Amino acid sequence: MKKINLFTFLITAGVAFATFSCGQSGKGPADTTTTGHIKISADESFAPIVDAQIQTFESLYKYANVDVAYKPEVQVVKDLLEDTIRFAVMARQLTDLEKAEFDKLKITPRVYKIAIDGIALILNKENTDTTLTLQQVRDVFTGQTTNWRQLDPTATDGKITIVFDNSSSSTARFILDSINHKKPLPPNTFATTSNSTLVDYVAQNRNAIGVIGVNWISDRRDSTAISFLKKVNVVGISVQDAPTSVDDYIQPYQGYLAQGTYPLRREVFIVSREARAGLGTGFASFITGDKGQRIILKSGLVPASMPVRIVGFSQQE
């Protein structure tokens, strides 16, 4: 029998133990594309769709664990830049300033477009005028319109209250960028602590107008979406200043998001700073692949790489 040098044995065992320990603590490259553990941050307005993706991914890959934290957009980007996470789901791509920060770290983030979402405006059930033009929306969010009677002379008098899920959320940033064109929000703007709290506030306050991600109300099979839709009305928006019929007002339905006719559309991205083929890469591949895109399709959003079938109906003579 060949003799084993005790010193060599101890060194080999020490290296093996160190490698195993690093893998267990999460500091080493223990995870693969389908096994291991990863922490990610996601824009809280995408919680329903991200939850669905994680549930399916983990059911297919038993040794994969994706730990998600839902946060406002500002915090998600902060986590990504500070290396708290390797993977983020957000409603925009990185800015030039953020890219420059990664350049300093000699990291090239990978960005994947995964879906088309939208921003929905919701009203109290007692507010029966559920149609607004895009210009009226802009007037409300810039503070030029502050009372419901300015929009409809027959409406009950009441000061408009604008409500967001969070002051640092992607929905607030979308309104500031795309609707207000950087003009500040008016003093009658408030923020709650979550999307469910936002819906409850609008449901209890007749003069409120809430801003929520379409993802929260798009899946008609989801119990949360169904409960939300029972509590509030969803606004139809027209890009025409003088609409001639009710058909000119567009609801944030999947088909209209796909066609590009709903005006408050936005895109959803994965941003990964993972430098190797780890679990983040595997999860991103799953979401952008066939199974992940089908989950997005069934949720009522528009998948980035799968066509949405638009079915038309005609009246019979």
Q: Which tens digits make up the pLDDT trace of 269-292?
A: 999 999 889 999 999 999 999 999
* Judgement on whether residues 128 and 111 belong to the same structural domain of the protein: no
Runs of H (alpha helix) within 30-176:
47-60, 73-81, 96-104, 134-141, 148-151, 170-174
pTM: 0.85
% of the chain residues with pLDDT over 90: 80
pLDDT of residue 310: 54
Distance CA(168)–CA(236), nearest Å, equals 25
233 inside domain: yes
Distance CA(53)–CA(40), nearest Å, equals 13
CATH number at residue 93: 3.40.190.10
Confidence class of residue 156 from pLDDT cuts 50, 70 and 90?
A: confident
Exposure string of 125-163, with b = 16+ CB inside 10 Å and e = fewer, is eebeebbbbbebbbbbbbbebeebeebeeeeeebebbbb
* Judgement on whether residues 162 and 238 belong to the same structural domain of the protein: yes
**Residue 16 reports pLDDT greater than 80:** no
Structural domain boundaries, residue 208: 118-265
Confidence class of residue 264 from pLDDT cuts 50, 70 and 90?
A: very high
* Judgement on whether residues 258 and 146 belong to the same structural domain of the protein: yes
Centre a 10 Å sphere on the Cβ of residue 59 and count the other Cβ atoms it contains.
9
pLDDT of residue 8: 39
* Judgement on whether residues 86 and 200 belong to the same structural domain of the protein: no
* Judgement on whether residues 138 and 226 belong to the same structural domain of the protein: yes
168 inside domain: yes
3 inside domain: no
129 inside domain: yes
Question: Which is nearest to 278 in space by CA: 18, 39, 12, 89?
Answer: 39
186 inside domain: yes
* Judgement on whether residues 261 and 272 belong to the same structural domain of the protein: no
**Residue 36 reports pLDDT greater than 60:** yes
Q: Which residue has the tokens 């320990």?
A: 21
> Which of the given ranges, 152-156, 245-249, 264-268, has the highest pLDDT on average?
264-268
100 inside domain: yes
